[in-house]
Every structure is written in structure tokens, then in C-alpha cells.
Structure 1
């Protein structure tokens, strides 16, 4: 019975607090503005961070976590240091040799450039990627229409091309591009396939804005070089990436006649390590922005304390009357704590709504798809409630310590 009375009294206090706050709607809304901004910013920031992490992970998964990239490495010549990629050190023969290693499933030499692709009156500037016939296997990328070029077409330096979905749409519209001839670098290429759509990557680049041609054709007819910009290597499995990396290092040092005391003239990037680094950076950025946004919650808490102190002063006589008719100090303390808690919790709920709305707007206006999960929402609401209790305690304590006689005389 006593427990029921306590519950009933709590709901009465809650109702009274609600009505009291409604009497000063504008003041109450202005008071919780800091809480709203703080919670909304935290929700939006975390959703952006989680969306970025997910996009990075999806981008990595779409390429294959067992993927390695061999890049031309750093070199020092005549006292001048050149970073990786600055000096041509890799050839197509290196790629063919790497393919024979035990831990390697397949590989592809890579060389790309940007060129105008022309079909009749339409033209489109896009990335031209020179690759081997193993491109689709290494990149986990299927062909939606037609076929991909085979090893024979690579060996014979054929003028064939497989285009991305964006290029197909820009040049051919709703037509099937397969069988049509396009001009690249003023050289005719027959379109033999269209890659399946992949969309934008984590950094906002359209992965479908691409044309893939045989690496031999790229080297001989467009680039006019024997060097490749990179070699993409697919290990047998995720567990074999480290072994493949060691085998590639030993092989290339031998092929490039690098003495033991000299550094490598190539650089190997492990895609899973790149993913970890990118996710770590995204998490750090999210924590930093979230911490800055959380400061607004503290500012909002100070605002609640100030307005509750004003409320205590304005309601001094009311407090005196309540004490005179039997209200205890703990009843007054509880009443004002409930008011500050309701105020901050309402601000938290509004902030959650604003944060989710802002996240949805970011998803609509940018390639990044934000992700709102339950955990930050619950934590934000609990934190906003804690802010209300913490900053509302002093005004509530001050109200509970009033002398009833002096409170009744207050004008």
C-alpha cells in the first residue's frame, strides 16, 4: 500500500512539474536549447562516423580483403629522395612472375589515365584502366552485359574495352553498348562488355566511371611505356596475405637485383591494413567531433541551473506555503529535481529528433549514408537526464533549505 502511495505521489510531482514548465513555454524552450543542440550534434556526428566506417568497410569488401597492391617504391638518387610511385620500377613481367608464387591466386598489372571516350556525337572524360584478364576476379567485379576480355586478347594487344555503368549511361543512354565502337586516344575500341554497377566509394568517387582495356594495349598504344603504375595481387585467402607479401618482397628484390643493404624499390600495401587505418581515423574524428558537441550539453546544463535558480527565487512564497502545510525538505528537493530532469530529458528527446533529422538530410544531400543506431541515442538521453539532475541539484537544495517563515514574508 505504501509503495502505491509513493508511486502516486511521484506521478503527481511529475504532473505538477510538467504544468509548471508549461506556464513559461518560451523560457523553457530557450533553457533547453543547449541540450537540444548538444544531443542533436552528438547523434549526427556519431551517425556520420558510423556511416563513413561502414562505407569504408563496404568499399574494402567489394574489392576483396585478401588484396595487395604493389607500388613503385621510394628511392634516393644523387641525394634526392623520391617517394613511392615517383620512380618507375615495376613492369608487366614482374606481374607475370608474381602470379606464379605459391601464396598468390592471381594478379594484374595496372596503369591508368584519364581520356576522352567518344561515340558518335557523345563524349565523356573518364578513367581508362589498363588491366589483365584477371581484373574481375581480383576486384570481385562481375560483368552485367557481354563479356570481359580474355588472356588471348591481352596477349594479342586487342582494341577491346569493357565500360562501367556510368560511362555506358553517359554515352549510350538506354542502348546496349556491346558491339559498338568508341574512340579512346583517337584509337577505335570495340565495347565487348559492361561492368555491373558498384556506385560511389567511401571517398565519394564514382567507381562506375571507368573503362577497362587490356594492359598490353594501354602500355603500347596509349601510354607508350613498359612500366606499370601498380600490380594488384589477390592472395589465396585472407590468412595468406602476409605470406604472399613476404614472397612478393623476396621475388622482386631478386628480380630487381637489390643488394641486402639497400632498401626496396617498391612498396606493398595490404588492403585490410588500409581498412584498419581508415576506420581508426574515422573513429578518432568521430570521437573528437562528438566531444566538441558534448560541450553544448554542459552549456545547456549551466543554462538549466541558472533558470532553476531564477525559478526558486520567483516561487519563494509558494515554497513557504508548501512547507507550512506539511511539505518536508525532501519533498521540495524532489520537486525541483523532477522539474530540472523533465526539462533536460525533454531537451534530449528534441535533440534526438533533430539529430536523426540532420542525419537523414546528410544522407539525402551527399553520397555518404549515415547510420543511426540505438546505442548513441540511449547514451545521449541518459547523459542529458544526468545533466539535468546534476545541474538541478543546487537550485533544488537551495529551495529545500529555505526557512518557511522568511519564505512567506518574501515579496
Structure 2
């Protein structure tokens, strides 16, 4: 009996025991589904993170007051907190930078804000940010309805606002908010634009729960403590990023009047530095998820081996008949190995399909990364199935090949 005939015999055996084949394949598919599903979810989440942070640009950096984020420490102790960057300092930095970079100035005005339109109001989860003429461009915010701020509105500090998509849907019930008024922070603002829907990025509201007002308007609003201004600089060429950062350091030291020999009173953070940290975290998630999936698959392989052992016992008389007709031990081993591999491969296809769907479904609940098909993990998953079939089916196949034909024929 040649290899082709042996394969056909193995497939006939699988077809004759269809229910057992389906149940066995389901055991393998659950293991593969967990492995591929976890890795797909991690890849999809990583893609969502990459899209979120790459939209900020790899050729940009932020300047904030040192200690402003409350994460600054020296040798495990809380470091010195420097005075916030003032409006005049931010303006001076922008003027001194000139055409060497596109500079945007912004200030966080309020968080957990309630916004009203008549009797309708939002939940207290709205952020209010003040920005200048470059703020929308540098932050990659696109105005879907209406327009950006005009030069006169920016210069005169008009009470105008650009709202996020979620705010518009809540207050205006799907209608265009442009031209209508909203009330917040003790003032009435006219809506001139609406931002594009950004989605649920990393569990937060993104730009959907954001309201942007002119920088001068935010600077003039009454407040309990002084605002600290954030500066984002975008350079045209990524190759000149480090030079621009060094130049910005010198400008900011001059603007902040940091004494010679004293540390900087500000921090410069690249937009892709957080992306690198997030990539490290997703790498650990991938290792952990792969380990969990491997353990699940190990349990599935043990279950498959047990079922194949039962199959050998049930088919002892069949093995004796085949040996009596001239089948060699090698051909018997091939038949049972082929059966194990085919069962694993069928389960692997189902497991990969359900794993990709499950992984993307989980990732869609966390981020807005789109549908991902990780072809690498699909290929790896199918190869793992073949490996599981070989490993789980070898011992039962070896045992079947060593059965004595006379004793097998007498087996009941």
C-alpha cells in the first residue's frame, strides 16, 4: 500500500467516525482559538495604539513645566516642582522659534465639566482645552462640520467653541451644532465647529468629549490657580528632530531664565517616546498571552492523545486484519499519524477563524484599531496544529503498529 492509498484509508476512517472527529477537532480548535485570539487581540490593540500615537507625528515634541505631571522624581523622592510655563513665556518661545518649527500653544482649562444647551446637559466628563491657530493642526484634529477659529476670534478672545462628536450628539441630538450656543464654566459660547469622531481610544473619550476654545479666551477666564501652558513643536524633517530639540532647550532656558549650571525647569518629551513604552507593554502582553494559549493547547493535545489511544483500542481487530493482508508497521503508523494530523488541521482552521474573530472583537471593545488578520499567527497556528497532531498521534500510532496480528484478530 503506497502513501496515497494510506492517506485515503485514513480519510475514510475519519469519515466513518465523523462525530468523534468533530468532537476531537473541537478540542484542538479551542486551544488554537485561545492562542490565536489572544495574539490577535494584542496585535489589534497595538495597531490601535500605533495609529493613535503616529497621528501625533514622530517629528514632534512637547514642552511642559517640570513637575507639572507629578511624575518627576529624583532617586525615588519627589523632585522639585518648578513654576508653570506662563502665557508670556509660551508666546516668547513661539516668537523665538520662528520658522524653524510649527509651534502650537495650549492650556488645560477644566476637566469633569458639565456643558448645557437649554435643559439638556452632558455628564461631568467633558474636558475643556484652549488652543491657538496651530493647535488643531499639530494635534491632528479635523473639523468635520463648521470651521476652525478665525484670526479675529483668536486675537480678541471671542466666546466661541469647537465641540467633540459625543457632545454634539448629546446636546443637539444628531443635528448640526454650528451656530447654536452652549453654556459652561459660567459663560455662554457659540459653537463654530464640530470635530470628527475619534472613537474610544484606550478606554477614554479621545476628542469626542473635548471642547476647544481660543487660547486668549482661556487665558482671560477666571480661575483659582494660574494656568500652565503646554507647547508642541512640529519640525518638517524628522532628521532634524534632535537638532530642533537641542535648539528648543536653549530657547526655553533663555525664556525661563534658568541659571547657568542649574537643571532645566521644563521637560521635553517626544511624541513617540510613549509609543515605545506602550510597545514594550504590548510585547509583555503577547508573551503572557502566548503562554496562556500554549497551556490551553497543551491540554488539548493531551485530550487528543487520549482519544487516539481509545481509537487504537477500538480498532484493534481492524489493525489485525490489515496486518494479515500485508500492511507493514510503517503503514499502520502512517495511517494513525495522518488521522491525527488531519483532525488537528481541521480543528486548527476552525480555531484560527474563531480566534481572529474573537481577538478583533476584544480589541474593538478597547480601541478603534480596525479589523486585523495576523497572517503570521494564522500560519503559526496551523503549523502548531500539525505539530500537535504529530506529537499527540505518534505514541498511539506506534502502539498500533506494534500490535500482534494474531492477537489483534482474536480481540473482541
**TM-score normalized by the length of structure 1:** 0.87
Residues 59 and 202 in structure 1, CA contact (< 8 A), matched pair in contact too: no
Match of 1:17 in 2: 13
Q: Does 1:105 align with 2:98?
A: no
The corresponding residue for 1:42 is 35
CA-based RMSD: 2.9
1:129 shift after superposition: 0.6
Q: Does 1:117 align with 2:112?
A: no
* 1:363 CA drift (Å): 6.0
Q: 2:84 is paired with a residue of what secondary structure?
A: coil
CA gap 1:176/1:346 in 2 versus in 1, 3 angstroms = closer
Provide structure 2 residue ranges, at least 5 long, that are not aligned to the other structure. none
Structure 1 counterpart of 2:49, from 52, 56, 71 = 56
Partner of 1:94: 89
1:145-189 CA distance string (max 9 Å, x none): 333224543343322212222222222234433333322211122
1-structure distance, mates of 2:138, 2:275: 17
CA distance in 2, matches of 1:208, 1:42: 34
**Contact kept in structure 2, 1:359 and 1:370, CA below 8 Å:** no
Structure 1 contact 17–338 (Cα < 8 Å) conserved: no
Once the two structures are TM-superposed, the CA of residue 214 in structure 1 deviates from its matched residue by 1.7
Q: Closer, same or farther in 2 for the Cα pair 1:305/1:46, shift >3 Å?
A: same
Q: 1:68 to 1:364 in 2, by over 3 A?
A: closer
Q: Please tell me whether the aligned partners of residues 70 and 232 of structure 1 are also in contact (alpha carbons under 8 angstroms).
A: yes
Call closer, same or farther: CA 1:306–1:58 in 2, change over 3 Å.
Answer: same
Return the alpha-carbon distance in structure 2 between the equivalents of residues 361 and 306 of structure 1: 33
Secondary structure of 2:116's aligned partner: strand
Stretch moving more, 377-386 or 222-231: 222-231
Matches within 5 A, 1:146-295: 146-295=146-295
Could you list the per-position Cα deviations for residues 342-380 of structure 1 after superposition, in whole angstroms to 9, with x for gaps in the alignment? 221222122123213423543665654451233212221
Q: CA deviation at 1:40?
A: 0.5
Q: Is the 8 A contact 2:146 2:193 kept in 1?
A: yes
Task: Tell me if 1:393 matches 2:394.
Answer: yes
Once the two structures are superposed, what CA deviation does each residue of 1:132-152 show, in whole Å capped at 9, x if it has no partner?
121122122232333322454
1:379 and 2:374 are equivalent in the alignment: no
Give aligned pairs, total: 403
Distance 1:364 1:80 in 2: 38
Range 294-303 or range 323-332, more displaced? 294-303
CA distance in 2, matches of 1:370, 1:285: 19
Using the TM superposition, give the Cα deviation of residue 87 of structure 1 relative to its aligned residue in structure 2, in angstroms: 5.1
C-alpha deviation, 1:296, in angstroms = 1.6
Structure 2 Cα separation of the partners of residues 97 and 211 of structure 1: 26
What TM-score results when the alignment is normalised by the length of structure 2? 0.87
After superposition, what is the alpha-carbon deviation per residue over 1:35-56, rounded to whole angstroms, capped at 9, x for unaligned?
Answer: 2222101221122112112211
Distance 1:152 1:226, change over 3 A: farther
**Structure 2: distance between partners of 1:87 and 1:94:** 14
Cα offset for 1:270?
0.8
Question: Unmatched 5+ residue regions in structure 1?
Answer: none
SS at match of 1:207: helix
Task: Assess if the C-alpha contact under 8 Å between 2:45 and 2:363 holds in 1.
Answer: no
Note the alpha carbon deviations across 1:376-405, whole angstroms, 9 max, x for none: 122211211111112211111121122223
CA distance in 1, matches of 2:87, 2:151: 14
1:352 equivalent to 2:352? Answer yes
Write the distance in 2 (CA, Å) between the matches of 1:13 and 1:80: 70
| Structure 1 residues 236-279: Cα deviation after superposition (integer angstroms, max 9, x where no partner) | 33333322222222222233333454332222221122223223
Corresponding residue for residue 402 of structure 1: 403
Deviations 1:284-314 (A, max 9, x none): 3123202211222222112222222222233
1:67 and 2:60 aligned: yes
